[in-house]
Amino acid sequence: MSKTLKVQRHEVKFYISYADYEYARHLLATLMQRDPHQKDERGYFIRSLYFDDDYDTSVEEKLDGIEHRDKYRLRTYDPTLDWVKLERKRKHNQFVNKSSVRLSKAEALQMIDGDVDFLLEKDSQSARSIYFDLKRKFIRPKVIVDYDREVYMLDYNEIRVTFDKNIRVNTSDLDLFNPDLETQTLQRPDTIIMEVKFNTCLPSWFPTLLKFDGTTAMAISKYCQGRMHMREFYGD
């Protein structure tokens, strides 16, 4: 049986200052559990290779504020591993449906080269659904985004608060498995992306914990920022 995952939940993102990040992480550490995969208290490494079509539809739809849109990526937590996750995120405003399929390194390299027929051989409805998307849209790899993520978890409604830091990008070398990949910094080190993920609703007391002056929810996309930062995409 292929390893697959389907998740439907709300995701709300914010830009916060480094001072607010330090305040929030110390507060959350007393109320929530750190992600068990997080060996370092400051987070773990994530690398995503994003795909798009020749018309940059994912970028265009994001910039145009389209409510229904899809995003495709290969994700690894260590480029020396022999497996990755293929993910499709379907977003409708703040509500996200994510499908995930585990791929071998060889399968990931096939996908990067444009061959996705192997997805039909997997015993997975998600794999077949993603296959037809990829064939219909004729997507190809566009940008690698590296960053460090710090995670706090609460069992109630599966609440997760994440802090994404040290975001780096590369659009010229798309070697997902290169541990020495050279990248460029995407944003200032004192700018943190905080994301609150949850099922159904938050407890009434939770939003008051993380209310920062001048901070509002924003539509933040590391993929779009990476493309525009590296001048691989220009809006008209």
Residue 107 lies in a domain: yes
| 10-residue mean pLDDT series, the chain (236 residues) | 60 90 93 88 94 89 80 96 95 81 97 95 92 91 96 90 95 95 89 91 81 70 82 52
For CA atoms 177, 179, 184, 187, the dihedral sign is: positive
Domain that holds residue 104: 4-229
> What pLDDT is stored for residue 206 in this prediction?
81
Residue 235 lies in a domain: no
> What pLDDT is stored for residue 96 in this prediction?
83
Per-residue DSSP letter, 69: E
Residue 234 lies in a domain: no
**Nearest by Cα to 152 from 107, 232, 209, 220:** 209
**Nearest by Cα to 223 from 232, 210, 235:** 232
Residue 108 lies in a domain: yes
Residue 18 contacts residue 190 (beta carbons within 8 Å): yes
> What pLDDT is stored for residue 163 in this prediction?
96
CATH of the domain at 184: 3.20.100.30
Residue 119 lies in a domain: yes
> What pLDDT is stored for residue 212 in this prediction?
66
> What pLDDT is stored for residue 203 in this prediction?
83
pTM: 0.88
Residue 34 lies in a domain: yes
Residue 236 lies in a domain: no
> What pLDDT is stored for residue 22 in this prediction?
94
Query: Distance (Å, rounded) from C-alpha 190 to C-alpha 184?
Result: 16
Tell the burial category of 45 from Cβ atoms under 10 Å away from its Cβ (0-12, 13-18, 19+). Answer: middle
Residue 124 lies in a domain: yes
Residue 43 contacts residue 150 (beta carbons within 8 Å): yes
Domain count, the chain: 1
State the chain's maximal CA–CA distance in angstroms. 51
Query: Distance (Å, rounded) from C-alpha 102 to C-alpha 90?
Result: 18
